[in-house]
């Protein structure tokens, strides 16, 4: 899985830096292209020359040491990397990452990259348990960073407990296992709807909702990263698609979304309707701006077409997933929706809970399949939630295969 992968290994200043030498060697033996960034403190434990010899590449220690005048080193490395591993990751570098400090080559590169980031902490057991460190690690997890937990045992400081850098072989095993997920949807076509719709009143006014599309975009990105061909049908949002592997179709109204979803439905294997489509629209719209008048304004509303139910009525082999954003008895309402609309699964959100509402970068959800098997997804970044949702979908699709 690591053959020809471009890997940046970030080494920060802890006694466990010596294990990073073995990690560099083993990554190279796996066929990876390895480039090492060392913090100034790390150079006090291991010489840069050691990593240069093991990786057969220059070692980066200074943000301002531009080895190639045609390139900005930290941006070039950030773009080059498929994977970044920070090992050992000290409490100091974890704290910098969690608050966005970029004061050396390593932290600057980490802020600039779109690569998958793995963090392997190593520190004193009391430091590892300190509330500040725990908070910082949780923050990084919500942003999609992947932690490789330290082992427990005798530490260099003399304490016994959790905080010892995981062994290089185990670090590589964790990464390979995670990377293997990137092939599980190869050959599958996934259709996802995202964002709100806008229902016109007049040329300057419309009805809409608070959806930002972040959950749907995260699902699209995660599915693409698992190898799927993804079509994303999105309402008006201020988001960019993260990869050219996602075919993006922009719509505005619920009717436009209805038409596109039905046009694309039978071409796809998995269909996830995460868009917050308007349930109602003005019965009468105006081509000229309505003028303010005395008294109250009454706008008659009519029902829009139910996209999810109509897809459920037509589905044949598609695995159809809906979302239910609720504030009262979310599980009960979600299960009713699952059954009524002939879904294969539903993702239920209580949007009144902190961390699970519209517009945020995190989510909390319950995944329920048509066998009423429930999976709780705890607070995490929307991308991590998306990965878990897709893993449950993949599991359930396998269970349905004769």
- Distance, in Å, from the CA atom of 234 to the CA atom of 218, rounded to the nearest integer, reads 12
Q: Is the separation of the CB atoms in 254 and 199 below 8 Å?
A: yes
Residue positions annotated with a catalytic role: 157
Concatenated DSSP letters for 349-368? EETTSTTSSTT-SEEEEEEE
323 is in an annotated binding site: yes
Residue 211 in contact with residue 254, Cβ under 8 Å?
no
From the number of C-beta atoms within 10 Å of its C-beta (0-12, 13-18, 19+), residue 283 rates as exposed
* E-assigned strand segments in 226-361: 229-234, 246-250, 270-273, 280-282, 301-303, 319-326, 345-350
Edge-first strand order for the sheet with 229-234 is 246-250, 229-234, 189-194, 270-273, 319-326, 345-350, 362-369, 374-381
Tally of CB atoms within 10 A around 347: 28
328 is written with which tokens? 């009262």
- Whether 279 has a binding-site annotation, put simply, is yes
Per the annotation, does 64 bind a ligand?
Answer: no
Neighbours of 269 (CB within 10 A): 16
Q: Which residues lie closer than 8 Å to 189 by C-beta, 6 or more apart?
A: 228, 229, 230, 231, 267, 268, 269, 270
Known binder of ligand: residue 341? yes
Contacts of 106 (CB under 8 A, 6+ apart): 10, 12, 37, 38, 39, 86, 93
Please check if 289 is assigned to a binding site: yes
- CB burial string 216-226: b at 16+ within 10 A, e below: bbbbbbbbbbb
Distance of alpha carbon 129 from alpha carbon 276, whole angstroms:
40
**What's the CA gap between 362 and 356, in Å, rounded?**
6
Q: Which residues are annotated as a binding site for CTP?
A: 279, 289, 323, 337, 341
Q: Please state the residue numbers annotated as binding site.
A: 279, 289, 323, 337, 341
């Amino acid at each position: 899985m690591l053959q020809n992968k471009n890997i940046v290994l970030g080494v920060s200043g802890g006694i466990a830096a010596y294990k990073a030498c073995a990690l560099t060697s083993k990554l190279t033996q796996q066929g990876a292209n390895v480039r090492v960034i060392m913090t100034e403190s790390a150079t006090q434990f291991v010489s840069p020359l050691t990593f240069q010899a093991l990786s057969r590449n220059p070692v980066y220690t200074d943000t301002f040491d531009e080895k190639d005048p045609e390139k900005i080193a930290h941006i070039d490395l950030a773009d080059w990397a498929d994977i970044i591993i920070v090992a050992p990751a000290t409490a100091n570098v974890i704290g910098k990452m969690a608050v966005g400090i970029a004061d050396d080559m390593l932290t600057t590169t980490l802020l600039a990259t779109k690569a998958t980031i793995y963090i392997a902490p190593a520190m004193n057991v009391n430091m590892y348990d300190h509330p500040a460190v725990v908070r910082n690690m949780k923050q990084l997890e919500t942003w999609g960073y992947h932690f490789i937990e330290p082992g427990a045992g005798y530490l260099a400081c003399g304490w016994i407990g959790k905080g010892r850098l995981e062994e290089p072989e185990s670090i590589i095993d964790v990464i390979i296992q995670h990377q293997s997920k990137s092939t599980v949807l190869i050959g599958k076509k996934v259709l996802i709807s995202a964002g709100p719709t806008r229902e016109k009143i007049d040329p300057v006014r419309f009805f809409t909702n608070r959806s930002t599309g972040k959950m749907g975009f995260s699902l699209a990105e995660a599915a693409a990263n698992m190898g799927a061909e993804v079509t994303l049908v999105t309402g008006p949002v201020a988001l960019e698609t993260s990869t050219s592997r996602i075919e993006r179709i922009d719509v505005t109204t619920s009717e436009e979304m209805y038409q596109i979803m039905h046009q694309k439905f039978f071409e796809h294997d998995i269909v996830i309707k995460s868009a917050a489509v308007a349930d109602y629209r003005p019965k009468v719209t105006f081509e000229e701006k309505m003028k303010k008048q005395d008294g109250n304004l009454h706008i008659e509303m009519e029902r829009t077409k139910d996209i999810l139910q109509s897809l459920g009525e037509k589905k044949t082999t598609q695995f159809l997933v809906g979302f239910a954003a609720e504030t009262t008895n979310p599980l009960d309402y979600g299960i009713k929706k699952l059954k009524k609309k002939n879904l294969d699964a539903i993702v239920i959100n209580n949007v009144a809970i902190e961390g699970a509402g519209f517009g945020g970068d995190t989510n909390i959800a319950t995944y329920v399949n048509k066998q009423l098997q429930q999976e709780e997804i705890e607070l995490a970044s929307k991308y991590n939630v998306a990965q878990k949702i897709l893993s449950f979908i993949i599991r359930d699709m396998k269970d349905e295969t004769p």
